[in-house]
Structure 1
Amino acid sequence: MVITGLERILREPQVLSRAGRLGLLYNYASVNTRFESSADLIAARFPGRLRTLFGPQHGVGGTEQDNMRETGHGMHPYLNIPVYSLYSETRIPRPDMLESVDTVLVDIQDVGTRVYTFATTVLNLMHACAETGKAVFILDRPNPIDGKDVEGNILNPAFASFVGPFPIPMRHGMTLGELMALYHAELDIGCELEIITLGGWNPNTYFEDTGLPWILPSPNMPLVETAVVYPGQVILEGTNLSEGRGTTRPFEIWGAPFIEPGHVTNLLEKNCITGAVLRETDFKPTFNKWAGQHCRGYQIHVTDRELFRPFRATLAFISALLKLYPEEFRWSEPPYEYVSDKLPVDVILGDDRLRLDLEQGRSIEDLEHSWSEDLDKFLSLRSRFLLYPR
């Protein structure tokens, strides 16, 4: 079984002997193997030292949906310490929020995809801690969709945002600790940073192989299967297609009222849909896009994770729909994650060039070739920050 950074500090409390007063960035998915909350465990293991809690997007309890639905601040009901939302009127801790701590622990389950706000929240925390002289300790957790596969174009810095602050691909193949080490060095952040590493994690494996319990880290990430398709299917947030929010299988199910799946299947670039079966399905979202309306589309059933390439697959879906439904298919309008002057799909993709290429009908193979050199450069950069043998 994999030993998380959380489990390590509980077993080896001397790791925090000089950490002083503690803060904790966490949410309801931050648990040990017995499903106990990291806040409760740290408060009990280090009596009197846990002074402040911080929560990411969706709130500590995961009650809010996507895209600028903010949460407020409060007090923990029985620990009687403040809980500050870092997805509120501020997304970077104010100095007064850090006054009572010397070190902020980070125990957050990331999902291995650039477009997921938790990593940016940790980046903002590091910036704030650098300015106030505080330390950051990352209690590392596994990348649930393995630590070897990397896919997608590299973000253009001109399109940096809360869902993509630095030039990395959509699927980066790093743990949160590794990614923060990269950000810390490449952005010259300057705070004291320590990664409490995992024990026994094999980067070639998926989350099910860790022996750890999967708790959905955000409201629409219920299963590891969701995380597997997410590096591609998150792109649908920038379109008028339902990405399956409001169904029981978000991101696996997708479609719209105007889609005829048989026609889409005939037009798909078949070499782009490997390691998966597209099963035609009908569905009616209970909320979000097309709520209450009969949609047609697909459920993605991944049959071979080694072969499946989620980013490639979703680009193929969009390419086919642009050809079949030029009047019905639409890009979503801004704002998206606090960006009001760019199309959401461009924010998600980290560039407008990819959208324009899709509109012009370029093949997915050509698109992948266009960013292959940049991807190789990222792999070289990434190699300097890998904490677990690849």
Structure 2
Amino acid sequence: MPETSFDYGLEGFLADPQLKGRVGLVTNASGRDRHGVHIAKRLAGHPRLQLVRLFSPEHGFWSNAPDAEDVEHTVHPTLGVPIISLFGPRQAPTRQDLEDLDLIVYDIQDVGVRFYTYISTLRNVIDSAAALGRPVHVLDRPNPIGGHIVEGPALTPGFESFVGHVAVPLRYGLTPGELARWYASTSGAPAPIVWPCRGYRRRQPFTGLGVPWTPPSPSMPDPATAAFYPGTCLFEGLNVSEGRGTPAPFRMLGAPWVNADRWLAALGNRLPKGVSAVRCEFRPTFGTFEHQACQGILLRSDSPTVDQAVHFGLEVIQSLMRSHPGQVTFLTRAGDTMPFFDRLAGNAWLREGLLSDVDLSELMERAQEECTAFCQARERFFLYD
């Protein structure tokens, strides 16, 4: 398939001669066409669609706000339309936000992982629009880590949060449009109108699509980061830097107390084919251990995706725990009563298994068993081969 055959869902939406009316657009910096032009700019000049209001998820409209930091409402500096933040004191549109709109449009590049919070915003937008009877249009984008692989664990009831707001496996193997169709079906909301990508297959790596990558968040600089993210983001629940504030977030891992040589020795032959780990030293410019000298490991992959990224991330965690007994701790964030690792994992049994040094094959078998029903059910929402 030639690279030029691919295009984003936004092109079909913008070209439809039947569409007209007042639009509320949910997007961020990643909402661009293949030439880098932002959809907000294209809507502002549309002959039949009037851009009335913008809505932004975590990290804000410009995708540059720090992780987990509230984002304020603002006004677009050149388009003059309000930007309503959906990450702060409120995380869903209000009736007042939506009642003067004819349609709500969602266009954000995602990474296919449950705790990447844009799907939490997508759920809230679908729910809010359903309450007012407003149609939701999802302009689809590729799943950069592959839409053919599902990895558990599932989200256990009682472990919900904004990093666990949609009851799917940790790595769910759907595009945003497919996920929106699945969620509406399970929640009873009206089905969203999904505008599919052209010329996309679910196994295609993002790097083969012939389009530039616009970071959807500050620490997602490239598809290589997304490849490791399902597993290495779990480090956010530990007293270890997950690499935010370094040149290789979610691939550069460590702490001031880490002995990288011991860690690498424990990791040994547990690396999947095509993945390498080398010793590194770094000093994060922000985030965990800001401005502190850290020692750790840097992960690389010869492939644009990592097939069992969750399993591998847990291998890296378990090897650190085995090589540094008693030094790895599971953190609880301010205002919460539950370890943040449990919020990310969607359960407590995974953390408990790691603390008890249970064999990872046993833990991953349970994780995959939890996903069996979802793996079968999701197929009827596929838009791509």
User: TM-score over 0.5 for the alignment?
Assistant: yes
- % of aligned pairs identical? 33
Please give the alpha-carbon distance, in whole angstroms, between the structure 1 residues aligned to 2:270 and 2:244: 27
Quick one: which amino acid aligns to residue 19 of structure 2?
A: L
**Match of 2:38?**
37
**Match of 2:56?**
55
Please give the alpha-carbon distance, in whole angstroms, between the structure 2 residues aligned to 1:269 and 1:359: 20
**Match of 1:163?**
163
Please give the alpha-carbon distance, in whole angstroms, between the structure 2 residues aligned to 1:303 and 1:48: 44
Quick one: which amino acid aligns to residue 140 of structure 1?
A: D
1:150 Cα deviation from its structure 2 partner: 1.8
Q: Does 1:6 align with 2:10?
A: yes
Alignment RMSD, CA only?
Answer: 1.7
Cα distance change on mapping 1:15 and 1:366 into 2, 3 Å: farther
1:377 Cα deviation from its structure 2 partner: 1.6
Residues 207, 304 of structure 2: 8 Å contact kept: no
Deviation larger for 225-234 or 28-37 = 28-37
Quick one: which amino acid aligns to residue 14 of structure 1?
A: P
Please give the alpha-carbon distance, in whole angstroms, between the structure 2 residues aligned to 1:27 and 1:21: 19
Cα distance change on mapping 1:88 and 1:148 into 2, 3 Å: same
Q: Does 1:300 align with 2:299?
A: yes
Please give the alpha-carbon distance, in whole angstroms, between the structure 1 residues aligned to 2:348 and 2:106: 33
Please give the alpha-carbon distance, in whole angstroms, between the structure 1 residues aligned to 2:145 and 2:232: 14
Instruction: Please give the TM-score of this superposition, normalised by the length of structure 1.
Output: 0.93
Consecutive unaligned residues in structure 1, runs of 5 or more: none
Quick one: which amino acid aligns to residue 217 of structure 2?
A: S
1:122-149 deviations in Å (ceiling 9; x for gaps): 1001111111121100000111111112
Quick one: which amino acid aligns to residue 357 of structure 1?
A: G
Please give the alpha-carbon distance, in whole angstroms, between the structure 2 residues aligned to 1:53 and 1:282: 41
1:215-262 deviations in Å (ceiling 9; x for gaps): 001000001101001011110111111011111111111111111122
Cα distance change on mapping 1:186 and 1:344 into 2, 3 Å: same
The 5 Å alignment of 1:132-171 reads: 132-171=132-171
Please give the alpha-carbon distance, in whole angstroms, between the structure 2 residues aligned to 1:280 and 1:174: 34
1:48 Cα deviation from its structure 2 partner: 5.9
Please give the alpha-carbon distance, in whole angstroms, between the structure 1 residues aligned to 2:52 and 2:72: 18
**Match of 1:121?**
121
Deviation larger for 154-163 or 224-233 = 154-163
**Match of 1:361?**
357
Other structure's SS at 2:300 match: strand
Please give the alpha-carbon distance, in whole angstroms, between the structure 1 residues aligned to 2:222 and 2:24: 29
Please give the alpha-carbon distance, in whole angstroms, between the structure 2 residues aligned to 1:65 and 1:25: 19
Other structure's SS at 1:21 match: strand
Other structure's SS at 1:66 match: coil
1:192 Cα deviation from its structure 2 partner: 5.1
Cα distance change on mapping 1:254 and 1:196 into 2, 3 Å: same
Quick one: which amino acid aligns to residue 164 of structure 1?
A: G
1:312 Cα deviation from its structure 2 partner: 1.1
1:191 Cα deviation from its structure 2 partner: 3.5
Please give the alpha-carbon distance, in whole angstroms, between the structure 2 residues aligned to 1:380 and 1:347: 25
Please give the alpha-carbon distance, in whole angstroms, between the structure 1 residues aligned to 2:251 and 2:258: 16
What number of residue pairs does the alignment pair up? 381
Quick one: which amino acid aligns to residue 362 of structure 1?
A: V
**Match of 2:374?**
378
The 5 Å alignment of 1:215-230 reads: 215-230=214-229
Other structure's SS at 1:277 match: strand
Deviation larger for 148-157 or 136-145 = 148-157
Deviation larger for 159-168 or 118-127 = 159-168
Other structure's SS at 2:370 match: helix
Residues 56, 86 of structure 1: 8 Å contact kept: yes
Residues 115, 164 of structure 1: 8 Å contact kept: yes
Residues 252, 298 of structure 2: 8 Å contact kept: yes
Residues 281, 296 of structure 1: 8 Å contact kept: yes
Please give the alpha-carbon distance, in whole angstroms, between the structure 1 residues aligned to 2:129 and 2:218: 28
Residues 145, 305 of structure 2: 8 Å contact kept: no
Residues 134, 192 of structure 1: 8 Å contact kept: no
Please give the alpha-carbon distance, in whole angstroms, between the structure 2 residues aligned to 1:240 and 1:351: 19
1:305 Cα deviation from its structure 2 partner: 4.9
Other structure's SS at 2:368 match: helix
Deviation larger for 281-290 or 300-309 = 300-309
Quick one: which amino acid aligns to residue 9 of structure 1?
A: F
Residues 185, 191 of structure 2: 8 Å contact kept: no
Please give the alpha-carbon distance, in whole angstroms, between the structure 2 residues aligned to 1:323 and 1:84: 46
